[in-house]
């Protein structure tokens, strides 16, 4: 059976909100797998700049450098909203993701990663947003990591947290580390650590 060509038609689009987030409302229809068209439907779309996350790894100490900061998305979720995460940030106009990885590592963790390697790109929640995230892994000296950093004009209050790789993976398994960016990067490291360390020699 030949699959029909998949199409989408946007009948109307308007911006509802444009501040830290931009939210558009779309009226659209799409072709159906069984043939024909769906009914006209309404969907909201959150528009976000590209983002970057960086897993900072010390292969000598077998430690990762993470950050802890408040996240408002966790306010109603029954856990405190200070999450352990990767260094991360938005791609500004004219920047490449790898440049953002270096800039954010300095701003948030006061460290300069070496040998940045791209892990993957993925869409964070494509049912409601166009946010695309590029993940990197960079080599650091974790013995020099620690402190509180962030930009005052961005209301950042960021604690640098150094963990053994084993402890970080245990926190993924227990659910203490429960954000997608960190889980993807740490599990990638668990699978690819021998290849990574060999490439860094």
Q: Are residues 185 and 143 in the same domain?
A: yes
* Partners of residue 90 on adjacent β-strands: 51
Instruction: Establish if 151 belongs to a structural domain.
Output: yes
Please indicate, yes or no, whether residues 36 and 82 belong to a single structural domain of this protein. Answer: no
Same-domain pairing of 101 and 179: yes
Indicate whether 96 and 120 sit together in one domain.
yes
69 and 151 both lie in a single domain: yes
Q: Is 152 found in the same domain as 132?
A: yes
Count structural domains, the chain: 2
Same domain, 98 and 155: yes
What integer pLDDT is reported at residue 201 of this predicted model? 85
pLDDT tens figures, 34-55:
889 999 999 999 999 999 999 9
> Mean pLDDT, to the nearest integer, of 151-164?
88
**What is the torsional sign of CA 116, 58, 196, 134?**
negative
Residue 110 lies in a domain: yes
Task: Tell me if residue 197 is catalytic.
Answer: no
Per-residue pLDDT reduced to its tens digit, 117-145: 999 999 999 999 999 999 999 999 999 99
pLDDT at position 78, please?
80
H or E element that contains 8: strand 8-18
Instruction: Look up residue 199 and give its DSSP letter.
Output: H
Cβ neighbour number for residue 138 with a 10 Å cutoff: 22
For residues 81 and 145, is the Cβ–Cβ distance under 8 A?
no
Catalytic annotation, pick one of 92, 154, 176, 197: 154
Q: Are residues 18 and 55 in the same domain?
A: no
User: pLDDT exceeding 70 applies to what percent of the chain?
Assistant: 98
Q: Is 156 inside a domain boundary?
A: yes
Q: Is residue 2 part of a domain?
A: no
Q: Please give the average per-residue pLDDT across 183-195, as a whole number.
A: 97
Q: Quick check: 8 pLDDT over 80?
A: yes
Residue 125 lies in a domain: yes
Residue 61: give its domain's CATH number. 3.90.79.10
Residue 143 lies in a domain: yes
Q: How far apart are CA 65 and CA 108, in angstroms?
A: 11
Q: Which domain holds residue 15?
A: 8-47
- 12 and 77 share one domain: no
Asked if residue 185 is part of any domain, the answer here is: yes
| HEC profile of 138-198 | EECCHHHCCEEECCHHHCCCEEEEEEEHHHHHHHHHHCCCCCHHHHHHHHHHHHHHHHHHH
| Residue 187 φ/ψ, nearest 5 degrees | -70, -35
Same domain, 40 and 64: no
Together in a domain, 93 and 163: yes
> Beta strands 8-18 and 41-47: pairing type?
unpaired
Whether residue 194 sits in one domain with residue 96: yes
């Amino acid at each position: 059976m030949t699959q029909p060509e998949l199409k989408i038609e946007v009948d109307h689009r308007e911006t509802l909100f444009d501040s830290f987030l931009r939210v558009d409302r779309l009226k659209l229809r799409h072709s159906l797998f069984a043939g024909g068209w769906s009914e006209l439907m309404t969907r909201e779309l959150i528009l976000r700049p590209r983002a970057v996350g960086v897993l900072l790894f010390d292969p000598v100490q077998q430690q990762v450098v993470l950050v802890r900061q408040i996240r408002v998305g966790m306010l109603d979720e029954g856990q405190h909203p200070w999450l352990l995460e990767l260094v991360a940030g938005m791609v500004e106009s004219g920047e490449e993701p790898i440049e953002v990885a270096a800039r954010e590592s300095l701003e948030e963790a006061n460290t300069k990663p070496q040998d940045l390697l791209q892990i993957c790109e993925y869409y964070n929640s494509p049912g409601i947003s166009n946010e695309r995230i590029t993940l990197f892994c960079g080599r650091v000296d974790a013995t020099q990591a620690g402190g509180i950093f962030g930009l005052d004009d961005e209301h950042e209050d960021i604690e640098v947290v150094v963990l053994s790789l084993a402890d970080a993976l245990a926190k993924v398994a227990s659910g203490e580390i429960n954000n997608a960016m960190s889980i993807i990067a740490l599990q990638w490291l668990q699978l690819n650590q021998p290849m990574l360390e060999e490439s860094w020699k």
